[in-house]
Amino acid sequence: MDISIIILNYKSKKLVLNCLKSIKEADFGLLKYKIIVVDNNSQDGLRESLIKQNLDVIFIESKKNIGMGAGNNLGIKKAQGKYIVIMNPDTTVFKDTFKKIYDFMESNLGVGIVGPKQLYPNQTVQDSCFCWYNLFTPIYRRLPLSNLKFVKKDLDKFLMKDYNKKDIKEVNWLLGSFLFCRAKALFEVGLFDEHFFLYLEDTDLCYRFWIKNWKVVYFPKAAIIHDHIRQSARIAWYKFFISKTTICHIISWLKYLKKRGINSHKLRIN
């Protein structure tokens, strides 16, 4: 087995089936791959749909919604092969996505984890590689404060606005919606930290790759479609403090600060 692909479902059956369709249509060449679908107690009929369509996947069902990191860990523990790919249900690949990243990883043995260019359905480039958070960055991201000069400066740095997203680049961390991991490196640094139910688990994972001297790379020569709308964009700013996603994000941020400390963002990557 060369590649194990893990897709975590939570009430997203249609998206999962669409994601699987794109994988089945991708060009793997001579590479052997296996798909592992983990269901976080969705009860949305995904198992029945997979059986009905006779899709060749390993299906793992959690008895409750255990979160993003823990759910993906169930799949990682069943993975085999040289590379492990984490895919969100709302992502689809192009025909050459896997092959391009695989070839890059084979030629760059010091790279532990890669993220492709992520596109919205209209083909515009999505933010998917980032600098480390500063103390108030999560707050700035969720409130309409970008007109303030110091906020704009912080967010521009966080979102890497000075980077053209056309060149291959080592970055602090990658969005967890599509992570192409070297299995050897992933098992060395450890799986997702299950203390993070949602948010920051990808930041924490990339941090651990860096401190173990594995490079984290944004690779725009390969691309995916990520049909994603930030949950905070759907919420009126005055409902910020009562939003479930906001509360979850802030809790994860506090856990991250407790684990890493406020100076963790000073970690140099080159």
Q: What pLDDT, on a 0 to 100 scale, did the predictor assign at position 46?
A: 97
- Alpha helix ranges (H) inside the chain: 13-24, 46-52, 68-76, 97-107, 137-142, 149-158, 183-189, 201-211, 244-260
Residues 252, 199 contacting (CB under 8 angstroms): yes
What is the signed CA dihedral for 243, 249, 252, 253, rounded to 10 degrees? -120
**Can you give the pLDDT at residue 144?**
79
- Name the residue ranges covered by the structural domains of the chain: 3-266
Segments of the chain with pLDDT less than 70: 229-242, 263-270
Domain 3-266 CATH assignment equals 3.90.550.10: yes
Report pLDDT digits (tens) over 95-148.
999 999 999 999 999 999 999 999 999 999 999 999 999 999 988 887 878 789
